Structure 1
Amino acid sequence: MDYGKKVWVFPDAELPPIGNNPIPGHESIIIANLGDQEACISITLLYVDKDPVENITVSVGAKRVRCLRTNEDKDFSGHTATIGEQYAILLESDVPVVAQYGRAEPRNVSFYTTPGYCE
Structure 2
Amino acid sequence: MTGKHTWAIPEGYIPEGSTGPEPEMESHETVCLLNATDEDATVEITVYFTDRGPIGPYEKTVPAERTRHFRFNEFEDPEPIPTGEDFASVIESDVPVVCQHTRLDSRQAENALLSTIAHPGE
**TM-score interval for Structure 1 and Structure 2 normalised by the shorter chain:** 0.7 to 0.9
Amino acid at match of 1:10: I
Amino acid at match of 1:90: V
Please give the TM-score of this superposition, normalised by the length of structure 2.
0.86
Residues of 2 paired with 1:36 and 1:89: CA distance?
26
> Which residue of structure 2 aligns with residue 98 of structure 1?
98
TM superposition outliers: structure 1 runs of 4+ over 3 Å: none
Amino acid at match of 1:81: I
Does the alignment pair 1:84 with 2:84? yes
* CA drift at 1:55: 2.5
Does the alignment pair 1:47 with 2:46? no
Contact 1:31 1:97 in 2 (8 A): yes
* CA drift at 1:78: 4.6
Matches for 1:9-28 after TM superposition, within 5 Å: 9-21=8-20, 23-28=25-30
Deviations 1:61-94 (A, max 9, x none): 1001111111114xx5253221110010100111
> Which residue of structure 1 aligns with residue 33 of structure 2?
31
Number of aligned positions between the proteins: 116
Residues of 2 paired with 1:103 and 1:30: CA distance?
11
Where structure 1 has 5 or more consecutive residues not aligned to the other structure, the ranges are none
> Which residue of structure 1 aligns with residue 66 of structure 2?
64
Amino acid at match of 2:65: K
Identity of aligned residues (%): 31
Where structure 2 has 5 or more consecutive residues not aligned to the other structure, the ranges are none
Residues of 1 paired with 2:95 and 2:80: CA distance?
25
